[in-house]
Structure 1
């Protein structure tokens, strides 16, 4: 195993983790809601009826997620902290991967943000189990794609 020191960004990663944790904590403290992205987006896409103002905060939350990389780029520049990723996958592979992730969030009753960030912070045993399964599936997938499939 080789560590790619050119792309090793512990301070940017720590800052990102702290911001995610702070955003999740603020949402639960101010709004009483868990920052589970799949639940937030799913509610918007289904057009489900929500509490008064429920649609507005969800739209603002998703808009903030979409705007964050652009804001970072505007403030810190295009090449900062690995903001120009290269994805070595075809569009078809990305679509299939996205669909599989969506399917997994339905079966797992949530995503890594809801279970891994918020659920574990609340001490939820179900979230510990779900996050362990998410991580194990990711490890197995990377190993299979990179080592068994000749990637």
Structure 2
């Protein structure tokens, strides 16, 4: 599988992610980690947690693809495996890792590193190293 190098779009996307994380922290004092946001909108929720803020954030994520279609007239190009057992195992591992790591990649990688959190730096190095090894093995050793 070949990927397209898009430095301008990547820079703009990263800037938007960073701006949204800063805006959420500045206005609500919350970290923009998806696992934390989802846990705040699904039961059981702790008393005093804002349901509306989490719902608005998730709705914004879900609207990104339809907005893309409106702007560009076509769906964004996505490549997803049709191997359902592999997708299921990957989902379980990501979920387990988010619970074990006390947060997800977006929370640790975007927000935690920017706050110079030692735990987030270690978590990000761990999941990025795991991703590098997985790509090396799957693409270059196994050839999947």
TM-score, normalised to structure 1, is 0.87
* Distance in 1, Cα, partners of 2:57 & 2:44: 16
- Count of aligned positions: 143
Aligned to 2:71: 75
Q: Residues 81 and 87 of structure 2 are in contact (CA less than 8 Å); yes or no, is this contact kept in structure 1?
A: no
Aligned to 1:129: 122
Give 4+ residue runs of structure 1 displaced > 6 Å after superposition.
none
Relative to structure 1, the CA distance from residue 50 to residue 138 in structure 2 (aligned partners, 3 Å threshold; closer, same or farther) is farther
* Distance in 2, Cα, partners of 1:46 & 1:37: 15
Quick one: which of 12, 16, 19 aligns to 2:16?
19
Higher relative contact order (CA 8 A, sep 6+): 1
Aligned to 1:96: 89
Which blocks of at least 5 consecutive residues in structure 2 are unaligned? none
Kindly provide the CA deviation profile for residues 106-133 of structure 1, in whole angstroms up to 9, marking residues without a partner as x. Answer: 1111111111000111111111111000
Which blocks of at least 5 consecutive residues in structure 1 are unaligned? none
* Distance in 2, Cα, partners of 1:135 & 1:50: 35
**Is structure 2 residue 80 aligned with structure 1 residue 87?**
yes
TM-score, normalised to structure 2, is 0.91
Q: CA deviation at 1:93?
A: 1.4
State the Cα RMSD in Å.
1.7
